[in-house]
């Protein structure tokens, strides 16, 4: 109820600003002869338009979990070295986006690739509405390029799955009983120097009722790894519960929920032309270097606006 009340306030403010913006826009042509008045009106128009954009994005944060920190996971698809390299490129892209936005990121776990890249990675991202913004990234990402690993330099298509989960609040969203948890410790398989290879600091947690597993080996301390693994496990259990609720709502409505990875949400084409296109919104750009360097705000904003349009 509180969330609905806040949304109504945002809608009312949005509509009020839209009317004010329209009124000022009508006065703008009349102010052409007065340069000072014209500049004041144009400045106020710009401020109102900026505030409207902010409110429009706030309307997209309709979930009670949107304001939370996010846990983002990346999984390389089939294709060996090609997909593992693509997964690492995506990891760098999201770390750069986090840095650009002033959020804090922490690599909780990484599984190195066979030759290069990564098989999977788990990143904790902290900041205002981190989960709300990053929900636009959930899905399959497709890369088309000339392979740097192919002797013939042939064109290859690679896939990677990105999942975004809200960080769970312990004992509020998810309660894990000690007897439901299996704890295994082992030596880290990733880089980290002699310490990580000589001590069993890595931790694997298994939730026995569901079979869900969470692993962390990024820290030197076994205690810290266990703490991070528990955070990952809680997020996965919360995601499982949210999926169960969504499935139940869909069953009631008579809609079918697609299983598996689903369709690709975005294509990154580096050859024979350069283009990044989001298949849900149609938003695209030819500046592929900027996107892969973390310039994602255009895609995120377009997705959030599309949500408002659907819900409106």
In sequence order, the 6+-apart residues with CB closer than 8 A to the CB of 45 are: 21, 24, 25, 28
More confident residue, 160 or 44: 160
Asked which of 253, 272, 298 is the last residue of a domain, the reply is: 253
Residue 102 placed within a domain: yes
74/165 same-domain check? yes
116/225 same-domain check? no
142/186 same-domain check? no
**Residue 289: half-sphere exposure toward Cβ, Cα within 13 Å:** 0
Q: Name the token pair of 183.
A: 């704890």
76/162 same-domain check? yes
Residue 284 placed within a domain: yes
165/190 same-domain check? no
> Average pLDDT of 44-67?
75
pLDDT of 192 higher than 50: no
Largest CA distance in the chain: 79
User: In 3-state terms, what secondary structure has residue 186?
Assistant: strand
More confident residue, 74 or 13: 74
Task: Starting at the earlier edge strand, list the strands of the sheet with 202-207.
Answer: 181-186, 202-207, 212-216
CATH of the domain at 273: 3.30.70.1660
**Cis check: omega of the bond before 272, within 30 degrees of 0:** yes
Domain that holds residue 305: 70-169+262-311
pLDDT of residue 190: 57
Asked which of 16, 37, 60 is the last residue of a domain, the reply is: 60
77/155 same-domain check? yes
164/266 same-domain check? yes
Distance between CA atoms of 10 and 303, rounded to whole angstroms?
19
Among the ranges 220-229, 242-251, 269-278, which has the highest mean pLDDT value?
Answer: 269-278
41/114 same-domain check? no
Asked which of 24, 40, 60 is the last residue of a domain, the reply is: 60
Residue 112 placed within a domain: yes
95/232 same-domain check? no
- Strand (E) or helix (H) holding 103: none
103/225 same-domain check? no
> Average pLDDT of 276-299?
97
Query: Please, which pLDDT band fits residue 10 given cuts at 50, 70 and 90?
Result: low
Distance between CA atoms of 311 and 288, rounded to whole angstroms?
31
> Average pLDDT of 276-303?
97
Residue 111 placed within a domain: yes
pLDDT of residue 237: 93
99/161 same-domain check? yes
pLDDT of 194 higher than 70: no
CATH of the domain at 237: 3.30.160.20
Residue 65 placed within a domain: no
pLDDT of residue 25: 56
In this structure, are residues 293 and 282 in contact, taking their beta carbons and an 8 Å threshold? no
161/228 same-domain check? no
> Average pLDDT of 38-50?
65
User: In 3-state terms, what secondary structure has residue 146?
Assistant: strand
- Count structural domains, the chain: 3
- Give Cα 26 distance to the centre of its chain: 40
Q: Phi/psi at 75 (nearest 5 deg)?
A: -125, 125
In this structure, are residues 151 and 158 in contact, taking their beta carbons and an 8 Å threshold? no
Distance between CA atoms of 42 and 39, rounded to whole angstroms?
5
Residue 49 placed within a domain: yes
């Amino acid at each position: 109820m509180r969330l609905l009340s806040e949304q109504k306030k945002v809608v009312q403010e949005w509509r009020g600003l839209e009317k004010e913006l329209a009124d000022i826009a009508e006065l703008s042509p009349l102010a052409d002869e007065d340069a000072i008045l014209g500049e004041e009106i144009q400045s106020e128009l710009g401020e109102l338009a900026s505030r409207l954009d902010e409110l429009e994005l706030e309307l997209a944060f309709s979930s009670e979990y949107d304001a939370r920190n996010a846990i983002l996971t990346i999984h390389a698809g089939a294709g060996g070295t090609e997909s593992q390299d693509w997964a690492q490129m995506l990891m760098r892209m999201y770390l750069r986006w986090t840095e650009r936005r002033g959020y804090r990121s922490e690599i909780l776990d990484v599984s190195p690739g066979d030759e290069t890249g990564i098989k999977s990675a788990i990143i904790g991202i902290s900041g205002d509405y981190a989960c709300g913004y990053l929900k636009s990234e959930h899905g399959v990402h497709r890369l088309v390029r000339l392979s740097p690993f192919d002797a013939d330099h042939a064109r290859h298509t690679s896939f990677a799955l990105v999942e975004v989960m809200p960080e769970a609040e312990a004992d509020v969203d998810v309660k894990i009983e000690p007897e439901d948890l299996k704890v295994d410790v082992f030596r880290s398989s990733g880089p980290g120097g002699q310490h990580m290879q000589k001590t069993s600091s890595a931790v694997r947690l298994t939730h026995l009722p569901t079979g869900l597993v969470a692993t962390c080996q990024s820290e030197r301390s076994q205690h810290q790894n266990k703490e991070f693994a528990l955070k990952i496990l809680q997020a996965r259990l919360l995601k499982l519960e949210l999926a169960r609720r969504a499935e139940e709502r869909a069953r009631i409505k008579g809609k079918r929920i697609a299983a598996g990875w689903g369709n690709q949400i975005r294509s990154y084409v580096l050859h024979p032309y350069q283009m990044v296109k989001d298949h849900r919104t149609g938003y695209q750009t030819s500046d592929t270097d900027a996107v892969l360097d973390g310039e994602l705000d255009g895609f995120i904003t377009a997705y959030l606006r599309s949500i408002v349009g659907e819900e409106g």
